[in-house]
Structure 1
Amino acid sequence: MARFSNGWHPNTTKGEASSPSYNWAAVVVAVVALVLYLHTLHPGVGPYLDSIEYQITTLVLGVSHPPGYPLYTGLGRLFVALLPWRNAAFRLNLLSAVCSALTVALVQQVTYRLTRSILLSLFGALSLAVAVRFWYQANYAELYPLNGAFVAATTLALLAWMQTRRPALYFLSAGLYALNFGVNAPAVVLLPMWFFAVLVTDHRMLTRPRNLVLTALIVLVAAAQYLYVPLRAFQHPPFCNYCPENWSEVPAFLSGREWWGIAFGVQPRYYLQRWADSGYQLMLQFWPVGVLLGAVGLWNLVRERTRLGVLFLLGLVGEWFFVVTYDVVDWADFMHPLYILFAPLLAVGLGEAWGWLAARTDRWRAPGRVAVLGLFALAMAGLLVATAINNYPLVDQSQRTDWHAWARDLLAQMEPGSWVLTPPTPTDGFVHSWALRFVSWAENRVPDLVIVYLPGLDPPGPPPGYLRWEEAEPHLAEHPLYVIELDDERLRNYVLLPVLRNDGWPLGYRVVGGRAADGGVEPWVSPEEWVQIQDRLLWP
């Protein structure tokens, strides 16, 4: 079968690896991707609960939910503390954009090593860059982009080691893979892929005592990042979600015991449905033609360069198995590594399609052959452009200032020392209360604001920033008290005063009275203010 180029062989020479055009192509796709992502980047706090959690964690150098994600916290803190632009939430969102652009560059490098074609490597990398979910996740604070950068970097290191057998690349792959556990614990599903690369390339890297000891040392150094969790948690930072109180609780926290029921929790009878749904998600990223090209590319690798084909197959199967069995509503978000591993295969498949078409038109007259091949190339380039144009409005979050503006407006009307009741978890107000917490600390707006958490739940931080409901309830009338969600059965006993924006839109409610023991209403404000607000009250 004809080939896209003459160099489709797994061995890489020193000259090829350091080719200026090879490296500049990575810079080009990274810049293109970063420009796109900066245009669609979320400008502030949000848009999801986990995003706000990470924004708070990096702001106060706290601890996120189990297992704590220390590497993400550390890198995020550097972005928040050192960058001079905009607000702290924007800076952490920017980390996602930078990591995603880096991932695109790394995918270009991986693809070039598979195809030896700069054009094909550009196509594979840009296909990933404009994939709708990958692009969307580049716009806000989350773990996926940094995890994706580590997945791409580990894959590149393994691939380069398999092609060159340079020991330094093996140790680099071990370090990258081990560090990734500080970002994403489910990285364990890539362990078969990593072990396979070792066994088929040079098993002595794990059987020779010296190499084994050095590998173990690398893993231990990477694992040491998790010492941050207990050491910081025991200092009682302002924010510490599911915080371990002592050393006996640390193993459960680090092992993510809180999530044991959902990891691999989908019942087997639903596997087929989840498999079909995940296949649909893959087609949303790369269109059916892209999925077909990726399948052709994987088949070509397995057939002609079996070790490389099995390497990618194990990576895809591991990540896909996790996605199929992960029992959460937002399971599709965890397909992020799948897209990264699939994009190079798409480019390999495109090379095969080009080779097939070139062979079929080899005996044609030059004008006809050039026209057919030119139209094919234009169609592929047009597919990239059309994908970017189609996806831009779907991923654009650059105007999502509503939560940040709401929090600023509400805090502007609060008194120092105000308390806020956390709304029930199923409501939008629950997430809004986290945004309020972030803005109050990040912008020094009512910084002594106290969040009163839900009954029966441990708050994600210690006093004075957070209080348990059971501790706060007897003292509610002693402080300015606000609520932001009416869907709360606790409000049946309170008289509420709407807090309005300049245009009359309600931002929240201040509790100005409560039901007395005799069934009447007891004002919590002065008699003069009580008289003035009678016509605006919401009664229990």
Structure 2
Amino acid sequence: MKEFWKDRETQIKLAVVLLPLIWFASLIRVKFTYGDGPELVMAAYLLGGPHPSGYPLFTMLAHIPSKLPIISPFYNVAFMLSALPTALTAGVMYNLGRELGVRQAFSAVLSLVWVFGATVAYLATRVEVYALHGLCVSLALLWLLRYQTTKDIKQARLAVLFVCLGLTNHLTTALLIIPVVVGLMVTDYKAILKPKNVAIFLGIAAACASVYLYLPWQAMANEGDRISWNDPQTFERFWFHVTGQEYSIFRGTSKIAKNMNDFVRNTENAYFPGIFVMAVLGAIEMAFKRWRFLVVLVIGFVSYLVYVATYTINDISTYYTTMHLLVILGAGVGIEWLVKQRFTEKQQYMVHGLLLGCLVWIGALMWRSSVNQWREALAEDMSSQVIADMQDPSIIFTSVDGHSFPMWYQRFVNHPEREQMLPIDTVMFGLANKTWYRDWFRDHFDWVKWPDEDVVASRRWQQWLIENNPDINFYVMLNGSYNVGGSFAVNRGWHFEVVRGRPDARAQRHGVHIYSARFKRFRSGTYFYDSSYEYEGGKDKIACVAEWRNNPQMNGTWKFFGPNNEEVVIPNHALPPKTDMSWEFLEIDQQTPGEWRCEVIVPGQPTMVTHFTVK
């Protein structure tokens, strides 16, 4: 055992895995982020069903860390299902490079370059399904390569196993089926087609496919607050869900050239210019020495490229990571060939200089992966402020995933005790094919009077809800960012309270909404960069920000109230012309710790209130 740990190859593998793992662990937010993460953790925590294609393997694996009584459900899942699989994939890539003939140093460097690339590093510090997907893909390629080297049928079975497991996590693994089958067949088709082996392959596929039984099970057992997306209890709904048919609107050929160009630019920006040249050199080298594996890589790369080129969803860059993996493998072989051809034994100092430059570049990639981390607290800070301001019984109308998923997480994971507070995604609630979503509300929240399908079809269901539930407080989230008059605020969903009582019974919103935020001054403006819910006494200075509709010229009074209701009054303040924002500052130093609130009082306007905590 001591000899094992002293082995240089083992030490390098451990370094390739542990360095990104430790780095990513330091970057993961204890608070949740934007994206699909809050919804995926909520589904895992409650054993519900997330958005298509359902991700049953991910959901069941994530349930365990989500329940651990340490740190937070989001952090635990992000570490175990994003950071750890990404770091392990770097180790697998090191092995792939070594078995393709790349020297230790270059295999290690290129594995680290891949893992610290912008998109891979971004996904490694959030809750997403792509890290587990990348691990399954890399392991399938590794065992396929070993089968092509040794023709040991056990390794072919392992390759099939990881392809099938990948299918239970993310359906784009299906793009790897043809490449892997071709790779197996061109190696030894007679062995692959033996009845015993065919039966074993089919048995592996069937066993993995059984993981999808989780989706109808959780739908049938749905109780309490658990959301079961598309309610896949019947085969028709199940098939609709797992095949992602509701996202077919994002398929099309109108932007193929643009999408391919976006991929090329994303890859070069994530790693280094010329990476595709190195990959082509590697492909030429593999054509002479590893042509069977090259066939697998080329078919797989083309399959993924066609897929992303015909997909117009806004987060398509998250699908690039598998192609990045394939490109880096090719580039590794190309660089190895180029160094052997260009540098003699007496010029090894130049190779060492190249490696030193690569290490510096890895350091730059690591730094780049950390610079935007401050924005990632916005999701929880935004939703924490909003949920603190809402008075139950309450309903808040949200739109787009960036608002809805954080509010779902707040309500069903962080604050299950607030049984009479509901976030409603207005897009989902109003869609004709989302009957399951409306039925979920009707079946589980009888304290609300819900509109029937005819009202929903009339598109007046929000007004109907407000008119027929007079005892419920209604709120609505808005989305936007502002860069006016030298000031900039990231506004990812601060809310207005709905005001009742107009003669036409339509919901109106206040002309101002406010929130608390940290800030920085730069150039001639003020940058509100962290709209937080908690601030540390003695360190922070915060701004109470007011955003106005229709750019009115108004006077306002800012008031801050401490935990004992003590008041700090800010003088009347004239809103600057041609701007829709204004703010006042509060020094946190020596302020009483506890729950605070900020009020903005404007003549003729209802008072707006936001809450925050001073530690």
Say yes or no: does 1:26 pair with 2:7: no
Say yes or no: does 1:392 pair with 2:369: yes
Residues 164 and 102 of structure 1: CA distance in aligned 2, closer, same or farther (over 3 Å): same
Say yes or no: does 1:320 pair with 2:305: yes
CA contact (8 A) 1:112 1:120 kept: no
Equivalent in 375, 382, 399 of residue 360 of structure 2: 382
Residues 403 and 329 of structure 1: CA distance in aligned 2, closer, same or farther (over 3 Å): closer
Say yes or no: does 1:172 pair with 2:158: yes
Farther off after superposition, 221-230 or 438-447: 438-447
CA contact (8 A) 1:93 1:140 kept: yes
Measured after TM superposition, the shift of residue 32 of structure 1 is: 0.5
Equivalent in 343, 364, 372 of residue 350 of structure 2: 372
Say yes or no: does 1:537 pair with 2:606: yes
Measured after TM superposition, the shift of residue 18 of structure 1 is: 12
Structure with more strand by fraction:
2
Give the equivalent residue in structure 2 for 1:266.
Answer: 253
CA contact (8 A) 2:398 2:424 kept: no
Equivalent in 249, 265, 269 of residue 237 of structure 2: 249
CA contact (8 A) 1:422 1:453 kept: yes
Q: CA RMSD in A?
A: 3.2
Secondary structure at 1:266's aligned position in 2? coil
Distance 2:128 2:288 in 1: 37
Give the equivalent residue in structure 2 for 1:450.
Answer: 422
Distance 2:63 2:142 in 1: 27
CA contact (8 A) 2:85 2:131 kept: yes
The amino acid that maps onto 1:88 is: P
Give the TM-score normalised by the residue count of structure 2. Answer: 0.71
CA deviation string 1:51-88 (max 9, x = no partner): 22212211211101222110011111122113x43221
The amino acid that maps onto 1:392 is: S
Measured after TM superposition, the shift of residue 308 of structure 1 is: 2.1
Residues 322 and 19 of structure 1: CA distance in aligned 2, closer, same or farther (over 3 Å): farther
CA contact (8 A) 2:186 2:292 kept: yes
The amino acid that maps onto 1:32 is: L
Give the equivalent residue in structure 1 for 2:275.
Answer: 290
Give the equivalent residue in structure 2 for 1:336.
Answer: 321
Measured after TM superposition, the shift of residue 392 of structure 1 is: 3.1
Residues 351 and 465 of structure 1: CA distance in aligned 2, closer, same or farther (over 3 Å): farther
Distance 1:312 1:243 in 2: 37
Q: Which has the higher contact order (CA 8 A, sep 6+)?
A: 1
Give the equivalent residue in structure 1 for 2:483.
Answer: none
Give the equivalent residue in structure 1 for 2:168.
Answer: 182
Secondary structure at 1:420's aligned position in 2? strand
Distance 2:278 2:416 in 1: 53
Give the equivalent residue in structure 2 for 1:356.
Answer: 341
Distance 1:534 1:384 in 2: 57
Equivalent in 471, 475, 483 of residue 468 of structure 2: 475
Secondary structure at 2:100's aligned position in 1? helix
CA deviation string 1:243-298 (max 9, x = no partner): 235344222222222233434x224xx43332222111221122113332222112
Residues 168 and 245 of structure 1: CA distance in aligned 2, closer, same or farther (over 3 Å): closer
Secondary structure at 1:260's aligned position in 2? helix
Say yes or no: does 1:280 pair with 2:257: no
The amino acid that maps onto 1:451 is: P
Say yes or no: does 1:152 pair with 2:128: no
Give the equivalent residue in structure 2 for 1:484.
Answer: 477
Farther off after superposition, 198-207 or 484-493: 484-493
Secondary structure at 2:221's aligned position in 1? coil
Unaligned runs of 5+ in 2: 453-464, 479-494, 517-542, 549-600, 609-615
Residues 52 and 335 of structure 1: CA distance in aligned 2, closer, same or farther (over 3 Å): same
Farther off after superposition, 142-151 or 320-329: 320-329
Say yes or no: does 1:422 pair with 2:397: yes
Equivalent in 51, 65, 73 of residue 88 of structure 1: 73
Equivalent in 209, 216, 220 of residue 234 of structure 1: 220
The amino acid that maps onto 1:419 is: S
Residues 41 and 535 of structure 1: CA distance in aligned 2, closer, same or farther (over 3 Å): same
Distance 2:281 2:497 in 1: 54
Say yes or no: does 1:77 pair with 2:48: no
Distance 1:490 1:321 in 2: 49
Measured after TM superposition, the shift of residue 111 of structure 1 is: 1.0
Farther off after superposition, 277-286 or 235-244: 235-244
CA contact (8 A) 1:39 1:398 kept: no
Matches within 5 A, 1:91-170: 91-94=76-79, 95-115=81-101, 117-170=103-156
CA contact (8 A) 1:100 1:146 kept: yes
Distance 2:410 2:66 in 1: 14
Structure with more helix by fraction:
1
CA contact (8 A) 1:44 1:89 kept: yes
Matches within 5 A, 1:59-70: 59-70=45-56
Secondary structure at 1:62's aligned position in 2? coil
Give the equivalent residue in structure 2 for 1:431.
Answer: 402
CA contact (8 A) 1:107 1:344 kept: yes
Distance 1:156 1:475 in 2: 61
Equivalent in 370, 375, 385 of residue 409 of structure 1: 385
Secondary structure at 2:259's aligned position in 1? helix
Measured after TM superposition, the shift of residue 159 of structure 1 is: 1.0
Distance 1:443 1:230 in 2: 26
Identity of aligned residues (%): 17
Secondary structure at 1:65's aligned position in 2? coil
